[in-house]
Amino acid sequence: MMRRLPWGAIAGVGLIALLALVAPWLGLANPVAMDVPHRLAGPSGAHWLGQDEFGRDVFARLVWGARVSLTVAAAAAALACVAGTALGVTGGFLRGVVELLALRAIDVLLCFPPLLLALLVVTLLGPGAATLIPVLALVYLPGFTRVAYAGVLTARSQDYVEAMRVLGAGRTRIMLRTILPNIGGPVLVQVSLAMASAVVLESGLSFLGLGVVPPSPSWGLMIGAARATMTQAPLLLLWPCLALTLTILAMNALCDGLRDAVDPHPAYRPARWRLLDSLAPGLLPAERAVLDVRGLTVEIDTPSGPIHPVRDLSLQVFPGETLAVVGESGSGKSVTSLAITGLLPGAGRVTAGAAWLDGTDLLRLPEERKRRLRGGAMAMVFQDPGSSLNPVHRVGAQIEEAIRAHRKMSGGRAAAAAITLLRRVGIPDPARRARAYPHELSGGMRQRVMIAIAIANHPRLLIADEPTTALDVTIQAQVLDLLADLKRESGLALLFITHSLPVVAEIADRVAVMYAGEIVEMGPTAEVFAGPAHPYTAALLRSAPVEDGPPPVGIPGVVPPPTALPTGCIFAPRCDRRLAECDAAHPALRPAGHGRVTRCIRVPA
Amino acid sequence: MTALVTASGLSKHFPHGGLFARGRAVQAVNDVSLAVARGETLGLVGESGSGKSTVGRLLLGLLPPTAGTVSFEGTDLAGAGAGTLRALRRRMQLVFQDPYGSLDPRRRVGAQIGDALSIHGLLPRAGRAGRVAALLEQVGLDGGHAARYPHQFSGGQRQRIGIARALASGPDFLVADEPVSALDVSVQAQVLALLADLRARLGLAMLFISHDLPVVRHLCDRVAVMYLGRIMEEGPVATLFAAPLHPYTQALLSAAPSLHPERRKTRLLLQGEPPSPADPPSGCVFRTRCPIAVPACAERVPVLRGEGHRIACDRV
């Protein structure tokens, strides 16, 4: 598979390199031939960019200077890259003594200011291009070692590295074939940085008289010389600076492009700009429901065009009720919760529908009012309690903050309220635990803290997105019991999003089964599970292992990608009860008795 | 049945703290003995921190044990030389939990499956492509997919690729570390069926590590329940699930969410959380959460006793 190479940047760097390479055959003026009578002459037909303080042709010196500057920079960067990466990879992968020697030596090098280090070596070895290359390589070596070392530490803990060990691969093979390609990206970026900065440092050292020896042309020498005559001929300063800037820009673009090109993942392209969302007017809210979602449709921009991960979704959650939204990955269940809470990522937006929370349409609220609702009347609990809590604040303080963001309360009273909440969610010794940091608590405890924050302001609606997925079964049972208690006592409406059918059976009064972006069946949990009306629900139930039941049976095929949905029933391609009519038209949700709805034409209306 | 892999008195303690901080060691695994025979699947269940994954790594010789031995067909892994160990590597393989992290994102899947063939010199270069295609087909994928990159596959397909990679060297023993817990339930069943089919066809001995009890019940012949680094109970799947003896096993079975919660007779809800493996309780490690613990439980570590169905509890 050929990937898109950064042709523009390749052409830019190639042109500069080519100019430098073929300089002797370009028929340029002699870059060291003086013409003192015409010193500091401006641009003319014979001298396109004018003449310098000795009357030498500036264009010729620029091109010849590129030869020296670029050779030094490229050779130094390449040398530093090879040596530095080798040190970093061996140090990071082999650990132990090698790591200690390589990394400490590099740390010592890093302690010297680079210019001072370069000055020291040049003073010892004498100026000249040949000395400059190893000097600059030495200056940039630590950067490569550090980048490679950090990359290796990340890569070596990956399962695919462990997999190579399981296969019996030797260390050299793992380092060269597995680790090296995976740290290639950052190392390439480092090459571009080192090369660009080597050109600058070469200029600086030459300017100080420690690099390229006059009269040989180099960009640094030219800048140095032009500085003296800056008032008489400011253009002389401009040309080498311009050449330097363009070269560095081209190199950075090339390295960025190469990094993307060697990455087998498709590149992300930014979302297209939309000035206005076409919002369709919603229907009137039904009575009583705490949350009433009607015809919700979400659009997300992706590299391959807009997709609709949720289409025409309607559901209601009543006070004291738990509605579970269950589905597999790609079903759109989490996108639904993000759309309702107004937390869709930047590339996503609601294109149709309405979501009323106690009569307020959440989807059309200004951001400021939405923010006040979140954590107030509408609270959320997410899957990963570890990343939802701020690691640098005590959990008690985080609960207090949640309270005081919505209510005026003195610090002392908020602290007392936080402890009461911690006790309420079943945390033993709440006064002491309030002073703990999140990392001092177990996963189950952290999820209890998240629930305490969620119920701090007596929400009407609690949206829980896979709240027990990261927890062990004995802890999961405790948290599910806690949620059921809270719902019973406070009458809040619970929208519970999960992939686990047994969890749904344990906690939900009603269940909405989602498949590829739409609800295919909804109704009271016990009835839906006892006699599923939609073939997908039935297949899903058959694939869940039951301890004392028949062996689980999977569903053949995969969920259709949102870019290629079937025109008829979207489950038809995987359905074992498919009819010819199933492909004809997309079925609507139809009533199936006892407050149930299903999206299957085989169910009698 | 003669055991293919045998572990006896296996312990693994990870040193805690840095170079100068002499912290307490984390006792990930303590005195674990188990055996897996050819064609047999042993389920290893437990919650996070119970040490079940560490046991898997120890059986494969990927970690050196602190105490105890692992032997493969009578060869002690610790005493084996580098050459013997390398040859044994070919015969025992690992299937990972995370279908995303376990494949190298920058190499084609065919090359990754073929690694085992080239590392062990199993086939001349010319024959490898055909073998890779055959392996892909064996796990239910298209043989022509070898030239694709991992990100072009779904989670379930990646897990199949991981299984194909593990099978490439023709192993006798497979450790499957939570191989389906990252997958959707409809895909989970397909991968479980594949593992059961491969086990039957290839006569694999398998250690199936999982926290999902119903899955273990359907796939495994025997099951061992771990808590805080020790085996609490071990026995044939049918008897252990039908009549769990150890209070922890009973609690674990009753805590698992069920599709038919109304059928559950009693709900035994454990209080509190597992103690830290760096500071396990004295005596029986489960006593701090055990509903039937007595002071004597703190005195001595209960030994795993019994024939066939073994249990480590002095109160039963």
Angle between the N-to-C axes of helices A411-424 and A395-404, in degrees from 0 to 180, rounded to the nearest 10: 110
Contact residues, chain A, for B256 at CB < 8 Å: 473, 477, 502, 547
- Please say whether the beta carbons of A476 and A447 come within 8 A: no
Neighbours of B265 (CB within 10 A): 5
Percentage of chain A with pLDDT > 90?
26
Of A499, A529, A546, the CB nearest to B184: A499
**A505/B90 touch (CB, cutoff 8 Å), yes or no:** no
Rounded to 5 degrees, what angle do the CA atoms A41, A42, A45 make? Answer: 105
pLDDT band at residue B241 under the 50/70/90 scheme: very high
Characterise B74 by phi-psi region: left (phi > 0), alpha (psi -120 to 50), beta (else).
left
Task: Give the pLDDT score at B267.
Answer: 75
Task: Give the pLDDT score at A268.
Answer: 43
- Please say whether the beta carbons of A396 and A422 come within 8 A: yes
pLDDT band at residue A287 under the 50/70/90 scheme: very low
Distance CA A501, CA A484 (A): 17
Q: Whole-number mean pLDDT of chain B?
A: 89
Mean pLDDT (whole number) for B103-130: 90
Mean pLDDT (whole number) for A157-165: 83
Mean pLDDT (whole number) for A172-199: 85
Would strands A322-326 and A493-498 be described as parallel, antiparallel, or unpaired?
Answer: parallel
* Tokens matching residue A559: 């969920």
Residue A534 has pLDDT above 90, yes or no: yes
Contact residues, chain A, for B258 at CB < 8 Å: 502, 505-506, 546-547
Q: Give the least confident one: A198-212, B164-178, B223-237.
A: A198-212
Task: Give the pLDDT score at B8.
Answer: 94
Task: Give the pLDDT score at A3.
Answer: 52
Contact residues, chain B, for A551 at CB < 8 Å: 193, 218
**B257/A506 touch (CB, cutoff 8 Å), yes or no:** yes
* Tokens matching residue B109: 């899947």
Residue B171 has pLDDT above 90, yes or no: yes
**More confident: A101 or A501:** A501
Q: What is the pLDDT of residues B134-157, one digit of tens each?
A: 999 988 888 889 999 998 888 888
Mean pLDDT (whole number) for B33-43: 94
**B252/A473 touch (CB, cutoff 8 Å), yes or no:** yes
**B89/A168 touch (CB, cutoff 8 Å), yes or no:** yes
Name which of A25, A118, A18 is nearest A70 in CA terms.
A18
Handedness of CA B288, B291, B295, B299 (dihedral sign): negative
Q: Whole-number mean pLDDT of chain A?
A: 84
Residue A210 has pLDDT above 90, yes or no: no
Name which of B69, B68, B67, B73 is nearest B87 in CA terms.
B73
Task: Give the pLDDT score at A599.
Answer: 94
pLDDT band at residue A109 under the 50/70/90 scheme: confident
In chain A, what are the domain boundaries?
Answer: 18-23+46-262, 291-508
Predicted TM-score of the model (pTM):
0.80
Task: Give the pLDDT score at A272.
Answer: 37
Contact residues, chain B, for A328 at CB < 8 Å: 184-187
Q: Give the least confident one: A250-264, A517-531, B63-77.
A: A250-264
pLDDT band at residue B25 under the 50/70/90 scheme: confident
Residue B213 has pLDDT above 90, yes or no: no
Residue A270 has pLDDT above 60, yes or no: no
- Please say whether the beta carbons of A118 and A197 come within 8 A: no
Domain A18-23+46-262 has CATH 1.10.3720.10: yes
What CATH number should be reported for the domain whose range is B3-91+172-185+203-311?
A: 3.40.50.300
Distance CA B151, CA B154 (A): 8
Task: Give the pLDDT score at B176.
Answer: 95
Q: What is the topology classification, in CATH, of domain A291-508?
A: Rossmann fold (3.40.50)
pLDDT band at residue A605 under the 50/70/90 scheme: low
Q: What are phi and psi of A305, to 5 degrees?
A: 100, 170
Q: Say which DSSP state B151 is in.
A: G
Neighbours of B140 (CB within 10 A): 16
Distance CA A255, CA B125 (A): 34
Task: Please tell me chain B's helix, strand, coil percentages from 3-state DSSP, rounded to the nearest 5.
Answer: 35, 20, 45
Mean pLDDT (whole number) for B201-217: 92
The partner residues of B222 in beta bridges, in order of sequence, read: B42, B236
**B105/A265 touch (CB, cutoff 8 Å), yes or no:** yes
Instruction: Write down how long chain A is.
Output: 605
Task: Give the pLDDT score at A83.
Answer: 93
Task: Give the pLDDT score at A191.
Answer: 87
The continuous run of DSSP H or E covering A504 comes out as helix A501-507
Would strands B173-177 and B92-95 be described as parallel, antiparallel, or unpaired?
Answer: parallel
For residue A417, CA distances in Å to A389, A482, A487 come to 19, 19, 19
Contact residues, chain A, for B213 at CB < 8 Å: 473, 547
Rounded to 5 degrees, what angle do the CA atoms B159, B160, B161 make? Answer: 90
Task: Give the pLDDT score at A2.
Answer: 41
Mean pLDDT (whole number) for A19-35: 82
* DSSP per-residue string spanning A27-45: TPPPTT---GGGTT----S
For residue A220, CA distances in Å to A61, A224, B9 come to 11, 6, 71
* Numbered ranges of CATH 3.40.50.300 in chain B: 3-91+172-185+203-311
Q: Say which DSSP state B90 is in.
A: T
Q: What are phi and psi of B33, to 5 degrees?
A: -125, 130
Task: Give the pLDDT score at B22.
Answer: 56
pLDDT band at residue B1 under the 50/70/90 scheme: low
Would strands A597-598 and A518-524 be described as parallel, antiparallel, or unpaired?
Answer: antiparallel
Task: Give the pLDDT score at A561.
Answer: 83
Residue B173 has pLDDT above 90, yes or no: yes
Rounded to 5 degrees, what angle do the CA atoms A163, B26, B17 make? Answer: 95
Task: Give the pLDDT score at A295.
Answer: 93
Of A173, A442, A554, the CB nearest to B273: A442
Q: What is the pLDDT of residues B43-83, one digit of tens each?
A: 999 988 899 999 999 999 989 999 999 999 989 988 888 88
pLDDT band at residue A597 under the 50/70/90 scheme: very high
**More confident: A127 or B123:** B123
Contact residues, chain B, for A445 at CB < 8 Å: 273
* Tokens matching residue B233: 């109970």
Distance CA B120, CA B103 (A): 19
Task: Give the pLDDT score at A4.
Answer: 66
Neighbours of B300 (CB within 10 A): 11
* Tokens matching residue A592: 């199936």
Name which of B172, B174, B203 is nearest B94 in CA terms.
B174
Mean pLDDT (whole number) for B217-244: 94
Can you list the alpha helix ranges (DSSP code H) found in A263-305? Answer: none
**A545/B269 touch (CB, cutoff 8 Å), yes or no:** no
Can you list the alpha helix ranges (DSSP code H) found in chain B? Answer: 52-59, 82-89, 109-119, 125-138, 155-167, 185-202, 213-219, 237-242, 247-255
Mean pLDDT (whole number) for A563-567: 88
Task: Give the pLDDT score at A309.
Answer: 92
User: At residue A347, what is the residue type?
Assistant: A
User: ipTM exceeding 0.85?
Assistant: no
**A472/B258 touch (CB, cutoff 8 Å), yes or no:** no
Distance CA A597, CA A603 (A): 10
**More confident: A519 or B20:** A519
pLDDT band at residue A278 under the 50/70/90 scheme: very low
Of A445, A505, A547, the CB nearest to B214: A547
Residue A112 has pLDDT above 80, yes or no: no
Size of interface A-B (CB pairs under 8 A): 191
pLDDT band at residue A274 under the 50/70/90 scheme: very low
Q: What is the pLDDT of residues A115-131, one digit of tens each?
A: 787 778 778 887 777 88
Of A159, A160, A543, the CB nearest to B186: A543
Q: Say which DSSP state A179 is in.
A: I
**A554/B62 touch (CB, cutoff 8 Å), yes or no:** no
**More confident: A199 or A64:** A64
Q: Say which DSSP state A580 is in.
A: G
Task: Give the pLDDT score at A269.
Answer: 41
